[in-house]
């Protein structure tokens, strides 16, 4: 058992008078996919953004053994902590090629991997990212991250709003990525979680309500229903 | 006919000044979210630095010095005054308001409130005939400078890495940081570029009006604001189009209508644009 | 004991301000002449007018969160309105003042209904542009009405005898004090009324108010018109105190100084903007008088005030009002605890 790549301890966030995170504590393993789950509005995205320093937070975050809370976002990213945000956040006015060029952080970015995984992006290099479909935009968002060597990926709801066929291919790509880099994945689609995740953490009202093996959670219909508000069969296809 | 030609070229000359001021304002607002009232100060710094240096070093070197001084002022303002306030936009606007008041007063204490005669190259004072109209050459100087700046700015935004960062940052600053880029360097850069362009506008304005005064920046600034809003915040091309529209409208209405009607018509244009398209002619939503 | 007296402090201040003209005390350093000398009373009257103007502006800025860059327009509407009616058309002062304020309120309703269709920075720009039109119009002297850059001195023959002449400066002082009292009463009544709380809610989160089924647009328009009418009333008072109007009153610089006053004093607080206005106007006049004697840029009132303002934004967030609150917390924490 290796040391975890990310340790979050007592993470608290207050925004506009409301206490959104109230001492969130969990570890992310150095291999595989750790799923961060919970109903809408329990603070999953806030947790990621607090780890990244996008919003002010208290508590402790250790990345690869080093305390990083309070560091500026771009420094963490340069340290190999990559982020695929909710709603893709591609730059709509920039072309696909420009979106990728902007994300380059190293002298020899891995375009071979990107073009192998997403041949479509190579063909659409000169197209404005704003005119792409949701699935294509998600490809750009993931590709931006894969150009660079990473030590941990934070991925926020990559399958949200995508057609079922696209969900499957995005999940397949994430599965391949996770073979090399650990991933902290926020996801609502339990089928994707079932397919990818080794560990799972469930947030409820700003606190960790459950953590353990993903199979233990999804295998327990009662726990799944009470924690996530859905039957565990909902994710079975 | 000759009147129309003269009015058009004069209007375009004015548009050139508006564009030089507005493009920097627009980039600063689009990227950093700061409505910069101190922009008029950058203009005055450029003009006064050139005016001061011209007798010592000759005009071309003095112009370069003025532009550099204005760029340095812009960068300094961002580093020292704007940056410590992070994302507190109202406070940032307030600081630039204070700076514009204090800066103009400082210039007044140094060089007096009265207008100073501004030097210009001898050829700029000449007059040429175009389609039967006698057009002062300084109009071409303004228009030519603005066109060059427009092309250079577009090339910079399109083909350089920093241009890419600025364009992306105007869309979504947080996401630029999330790609591992220190977006604040780009903030300093746009303040410096904005300062340089405003300084150039101050110098060219000085040549055009043959005089400079501490308050000149403020009066040009308000029309530049209007150009920025009509053109869309953060859009250089939008600023150029809006500057031409505003400059021409102002000249023609001022000539054919009652005195001052041109200025009023520009404001009416602004109100009309805002009521029909709150996002401006091009660019992102203006309510941010 | 002090806590029980606190609610009466404003009344006490008003009383002191009202009887001040009977005092022959002289405060060297602060004022040139005795307190009841015409020069000092004139200076104080201007301070009181700006205290009222700043508090009225803060109804928009500090309370409703509307950063208007065009407030000078409403001040100018009142000032020029009354001056033109009295000096050109020979109206009696009181009906001229009433007409000017009402007309300014109607104008504010018209402009507000357009400007408030935008929000945020766009609102600031639209108000700035409207005020720019007003300034241009005033400077062009349409039909010889405004006197252009020279301004328009008030024709004294049209005024009640009690407001004319150096000896009657005291009446102008009381007039200014009355204006300030009116603004305080109006703004504080709004603060206590549901409208005030809704405005603050609007400033903090517009969506929440819309969810409550209230129209943000209409509420903001009410605030805009009220602030416009108060500004016009201030303009009328200013025209009387200053004995006429100059185009400076329509300039964006006046609006900017109102913003500075509100922030310096503490925007959105009960007394902050009022104190900021009085302090700013005092410093502005004193520095202008001392001007020649001070070295370099310090001879320029705007340099000193602008710099002071920037420092205040950084180091005294919340302005004077915030400062006094922090001072009280400090005192409270120093007090020995009992029980």
Q: What is the pLDDT of residue C236?
A: 95
B167 vs A contacts (CB less than 8 Å): 91, 93-94, 98
Cα separation, C272 vs C290, in Å, equals 26
C204 vs B contacts (CB less than 8 Å): none
Chain A residues 129-188 with a CB less than 8 Å from chain B? 144, 148
Together in a domain, A73 and A92: no
Q: What is the pLDDT of residue B109?
A: 84
Residue A169 lies in a domain: no
Residue C30 lies in a domain: no
Residue A65 lies in a domain: yes
Residue in chain B closest to C127 (alpha carbons) equals: B271
Contact flag B225-C137 (C-beta cutoff 8 Å): no
A84 vs B contacts (CB less than 8 Å): none
Confidence of residue B19 (pLDDT cuts 50, 70, 90): very high
Burial of A188 (0-12, 13-18, 19+ CB in 10 A): middle
- B partners (3+ CB pairs within 8 A) are A, C
Contact flag B177-A54 (C-beta cutoff 8 Å): yes
Within 13 Å of residue B120, how many CA atoms lie on the same side as its CB? 24
Contact flag B225-C119 (C-beta cutoff 8 Å): no
Residue A49 lies in a domain: yes
Residue C33 lies in a domain: no
Which of A196, A85, A192 is closest to A144 using CA atoms? Answer: A85
pLDDT tens for each residue of B26-45: 888 888 878 888 899 999 99
Residue C198 lies in a domain: yes
- Highest-pLDDT range among B110-124, B143-157, C130-144: B143-157
Domain ranges, residue B113: 20-216
Residue A71 lies in a domain: yes
Total number of domains in chain B: 1
Between helices C93-115 and C71-87, what is the axis angle to 10°?
150
Residue C15 lies in a domain: no
Residue C1 lies in a domain: no
Contact flag A89-B178 (C-beta cutoff 8 Å): yes
Q: Which residue has the tokens 């200076």?
A: C43
Cα separation, C310 vs C106, in Å, equals 35
Span B137-158, mean pLDDT?
91
Helix (H, G, I), strand (E, B) or coil at C290: helix
Residue B131: pLDDT above 60?
yes
Nearest to B179 among A77, A92, A93 (CB): A77
Residue B226 lies in a domain: no
Residue A167 lies in a domain: no
Per-residue model confidence as pLDDT tens for chain A (237 residues): 578 898 988 888 887 667 888 888 989 988 889 999 888 888 888 899 999 988 888 888 989 888 988 888 989 898 889 999 988 889 988 999 999 999 998 889 989 988 988 888 889 989 999 898 888 899 899 999 999 999 999 999 888 888 888 888 889 989 988 888 999 999 888 888 888 889 999 988 888 888 888 888 888 777 787 777 765 444 444
Residue C19 lies in a domain: no
Instruction: Report yes or no: A83 at the B interface, CB cutoff 8 Å.
Output: yes
Residue B3 lies in a domain: no
Tokens representing A110 are: 């891995």
Q: How far is A233 from chain B (nearest CA, A)?
A: 36
Residue A46 lies in a domain: yes
Residue B11 lies in a domain: no
Residue C250 lies in a domain: yes
Together in a domain, A98 and A114: yes
First-to-last alpha carbon distance for chain C, in angstroms, is 20
Together in a domain, A133 and A184: no
With b for 16 or more beta-carbon neighbours within 10 A and e for fewer, the C148-185 pattern comes to eeebbebeeebbeeebbeeebbbbbbbbbbebbbbbbe
Decide if A61 contacts A68 (C-beta within 8 A): yes
pLDDT tens for each residue of A67-92: 988 888 989 898 889 999 988 889 98
Residue contacts between A and B (CB atoms, under 8 Å): 56
B237 vs A contacts (CB less than 8 Å): none
Residue A200 lies in a domain: yes
Total number of domains in chain A: 2
Cα dihedral sign, C223-C224-C228-C231: positive
Q: What is the mean pLDDT of chain B?
A: 86
Domain ranges, residue A116: 87-149
Residue in chain A closest to B172 (alpha carbons) equals: A91
Q: How far is C131 from chain B (nearest CA, A)?
A: 10
A54 vs B contacts (CB less than 8 Å): 174, 177-178
Q: Which residue has the tokens 């072309």?
A: A95
Phi, psi of A28 (to 5 degrees): -115, 125
All residue ranges of chain C with pLDDT < 50 are 1, 338-339
pLDDT tens for each residue of C129-175: 888 888 888 888 887 888 888 888 888 877 887 777 777 888 889 99
ipTM reported for the complex, 2 dp = 0.85
Q: What is the pLDDT of residue A234?
A: 45
Total number of domains in chain C: 1
Residue A110 lies in a domain: yes
Between helices C252-265 and B89-111, what is the axis angle to 10°?
120
Together in a domain, A69 and A21: yes
Together in a domain, A75 and A188: yes
Residue C3 lies in a domain: no
The CATH number of the domain holding residue A76 is 3.40.50.300
Q: How far is C306 from chain B (nearest CA, A)?
A: 4
Decide if C154 contacts C83 (C-beta within 8 A): yes
Domain ranges, residue C285: 40-334
Confidence of residue B279 (pLDDT cuts 50, 70, 90): low
Residue B72: pLDDT above 90?
yes
The CATH number of the domain holding residue C212 is 1.10.3470
Nearest to A93 among B161, B165, B167 (CB): B167
Which of B94, B108, B136, B169 is closest to B6 using CA atoms? Answer: B136
pLDDT tens for each residue of B186-209: 889 999 999 999 999 999 999 888
CA-based radius of gyration for chain B: 19
Decide if B226 contacts C129 (C-beta within 8 A): yes
Contact flag C140-B102 (C-beta cutoff 8 Å): no
Q: What is the pLDDT of residue B285?
A: 36
Interface list for chain B against chain A, based on CB atoms closer than 8 Å: 161, 164-165, 167-168, 171-172, 174-183
Decide if B12 contacts B139 (C-beta within 8 A): yes
């Amino acid at each position: 058992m290796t040391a975890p790549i990310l340790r979050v301890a007592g993470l608290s966030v207050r925004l506009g008078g409301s206490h959104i995170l109230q001492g969130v504590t969990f570890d992310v393993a150095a291999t595989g996919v750790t799923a961060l789950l919970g109903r809408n509005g329990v603070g999953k995205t806030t947790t990621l953004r607090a780890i990244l320093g996008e919003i002010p937070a208290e508590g402790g975050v250790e990345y690869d053994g080093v305390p990083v809370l309070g560091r500026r976002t771009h420094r963490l990213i340069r340290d190999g902590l990559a982020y695929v945000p909710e709603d893709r956040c591609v730059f709509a006015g920039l072309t696909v090629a420009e979106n990728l060029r902007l994300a380059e952080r190293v002298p020899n970015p891995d375009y071979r991997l990107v073009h192998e995984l997403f041949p479509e992006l190579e063909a659409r290099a000169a197209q404005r990212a704003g005119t792409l479909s949701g699935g294509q935009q998600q490809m750009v968002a993931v590709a931006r991250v894969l150009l660079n060597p990473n030590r941990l990926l934070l991925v926020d709801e990559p399958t949200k709003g995508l057609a079922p066929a696209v969900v499957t291919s995005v999940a397949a790509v994430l599965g391949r990525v996770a073979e090399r880099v650990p991933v902290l994945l926020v996801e609502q689609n339990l089928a994707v979680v079932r397919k990818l995740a080794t560990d799972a953490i469930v947030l409820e009202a700003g606190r960790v309500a459950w953590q353990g093996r993903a199979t233990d959670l999804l295998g327990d219909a009662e726990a799944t229903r009470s924690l996530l508000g859905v039957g565990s069969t909902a994710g079975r296809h | 006919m000759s009147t129309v030609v003269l009015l058009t070229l004069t209007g375009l000359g004015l548009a050139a000044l508006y564009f030089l001021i507005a493009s920097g304002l627009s980039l600063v607002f689009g990227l950093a979210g700061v409505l910069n009232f101190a922009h008029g100060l950058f203009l005055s710094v450029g003009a006064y630095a050139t005016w001061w240096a011209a007798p010592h070093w000759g005009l071309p070197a003095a112009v370069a010095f003025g532009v550099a001084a204005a760029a340095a002022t812009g960068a300094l303002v961002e580093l020292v005054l704007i940056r410590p306030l992070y994302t507190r936009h109202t406070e940032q606007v307030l600081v630039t308001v204070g700076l514009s008041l204090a800066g103009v007063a400082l210039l007044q204490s140094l060089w007096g409130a009265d207008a100073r005669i501004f030097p210009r190259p001898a050829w700029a004072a000449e007059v040429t005939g175009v389609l039967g109209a006698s057009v002062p050459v300084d109009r071409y100087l303004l228009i030519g400078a603005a066109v060059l700046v427009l092309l250079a700015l577009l090339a910079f935004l399109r083909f350089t890495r920093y241009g890419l960062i600025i364009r992306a940052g105007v869309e979504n600053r947080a996401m630029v940081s999330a790609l591992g880029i220190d977006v604040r360097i780009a903030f300093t850069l746009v303040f410096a570029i904005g300062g340089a362009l405003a300084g150039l506008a101050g110098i060219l304005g000085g040549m055009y009006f043959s005089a400079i005064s501490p308050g000149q920046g403020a009066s040009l600034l308000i029309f530049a604001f209007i150009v920025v809003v009509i053109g869309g915040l953060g859009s250089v091309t939008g600023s150029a189009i809006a500057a031409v529209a505003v400059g021409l409208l102002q000249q023609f209405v001022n000539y054919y209508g009652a005195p001052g009607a041109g200025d009023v018509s520009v404001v009416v244009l602004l109100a009309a644009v805002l009521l029909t398209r709150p996002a401006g002619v091009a660019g992102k939503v203006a309510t941010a | 004991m002090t806590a029980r007296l606190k609610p009466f402090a404003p009344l006490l201040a008003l009383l002191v301000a009202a009887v001040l003209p009977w005092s022959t005390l002289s405060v060297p350093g602060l004022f040139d002449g005795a307190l009841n000398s015409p020069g000092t009373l004139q200076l104080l009257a201007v301070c009181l007018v700006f205290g009222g103007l700043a508090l009225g502006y803060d109804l928009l800025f500090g309370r409703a969160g509307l950063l208007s860059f065009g407030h000078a327009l409403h001040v100018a509407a009142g000032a020029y309105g009354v001056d033109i009616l009295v000096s050109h058309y020979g109206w009696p002062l009181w009906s001229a003042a009433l007409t000017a304020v009402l007309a300014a309120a109607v104008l504010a309703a018209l402009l507000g209904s357009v400007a408030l269709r935008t929000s945020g920075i766009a609102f600031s720009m639209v108000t700035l542009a409207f005020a720019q039109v007003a300034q241009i119009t005033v400077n062009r002297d349409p039909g010889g009405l405004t006197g252009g850059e020279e301004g328009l001195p008030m024709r004294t023959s049209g005024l009640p005898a009690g407001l004319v002449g150096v000896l009657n400066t005291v009446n102008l002082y009381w007039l200014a004090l009355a204006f300030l009292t009116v603004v305080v009463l109006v703004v504080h009544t709004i603060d206590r009324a549901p409208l005030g709380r809704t405005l603050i809610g609007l400033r903090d989160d517009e969506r929440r108010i819309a969810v409550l089924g209230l129209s943000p647009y209409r509420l903001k328009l009410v605030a805009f018109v009220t602030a416009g009418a108060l500004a016009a009333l201030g303009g009328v008072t200013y025209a009387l105190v200053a004995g006429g109007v100059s185009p400076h009153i329509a300039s964006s610089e006046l609006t900017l100084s109102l913003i500075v006053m509100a922030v310096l004093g503490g925007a959105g607080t009960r007394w902050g903007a009022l104190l900021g206005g009085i302090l700013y106007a005092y410093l502005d006049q004193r520095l202008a008088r001392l001007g020649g004697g001070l070295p370099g840029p310090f001879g320029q009132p705007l340099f000193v005030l602008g710099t002071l303002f920037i420092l205040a934004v950084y180091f005294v967030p919340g302005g004077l009002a915030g400062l006094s609150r922090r001072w009280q917390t400090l005192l409270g924490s120093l007090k020995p605890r009992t029980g």
